[in-house]
Amino acid sequence: MLHLPSSGYKVYEVSVYNKDVRSLVKQNQRHCYFDDQWADVQVRDVVARNESEARTLIAERFPAEDGFVVEDVCQCRF
């Protein structure tokens, strides 16, 4: 995040991983597209009006149909 959110927006930390990558890594295999780092939880900052909007935005970037799982969403305290 390079700037503070404007009025009415908040910053959310979203924890996301890829279940397909995680499964393959456990079997000592590699995903054909996603890097092995996606087996572990990755934290992304999302600027949104509320948690629901943050979840929608992250789902657009990391869709469930590609194996991504949102583990947690929490509002940052700045």
Q: Domain boundaries in the chain? A: 10-75
Residue 10 near residue 30 (C-beta atoms within 8 A): no
pLDDT value at residue 4: 63
More confident residue, 2 or 68: 68
Mean pLDDT value of segment 11-25: 97
Band of pLDDT at residue 1, cut at 50, 70 and 90: low
pLDDT value at residue 78: 63
Check if CATH label 3.10.20 holds for domain 10-75: yes
Per-residue CA distances from 66 to 7, 21, 39, 69 (Å): 33, 10, 13, 9
| pLDDT exceeds cutoff 90 at 77 | no
Q: Which residue has the tokens 């929608």?
A: 56
| pLDDT exceeds cutoff 60 at 66 | yes
Structure tokens at 49: 């009006």
Q: What pTM was estimated for this model as a whole?
A: 0.87
